[in-house]
Amino acid sequence: MKKYFLINVLGKHGYSFMVHAAVKDEDEAIELAAENGLFEAEGDADYATAEEASDYDVKHFEKANMINEL
């Protein structure tokens, strides 16, 4: 079953993105995002956190057409 995960890259120039994927946990979501080239720079996955997205987050990213289907 697919879940929505909000991935946040920490730091001065941090950013966030969302993935919708069939993964078991947050670490696997980050790993899959890295394998699919979703991070802006090499090494960003090392500074990323992930959490299961709230309904509010899903609606926000959906409205902006910013959900990465994996």
Strand-pairing partners, residue 18, are 6, 67
- So what's the pLDDT on residue 20? 98
Say which amino acid occupies 13: H
Give residue 11's pLDDT: 87
Over residues 17-49, the pLDDT tens digits come to 999 999 999 999 999 999 999 999 989 999 999
The backbone torsions φ and ψ at residue 17, rounded to the nearest 5 degrees and listed phi first, read -155, 170
The C-alpha atoms of residue 38 and residue 30 are separated, in whole angstroms, by 9
pLDDT score at 22: 98
Give 55-68 pLDDT, tens digit per residue. 999 999 999 999 99
Per-domain residue ranges of the chain? 3-69
Give me 14's structure tokens: 């941090």
Q: Which residue has the tokens 């079953």?
A: 1
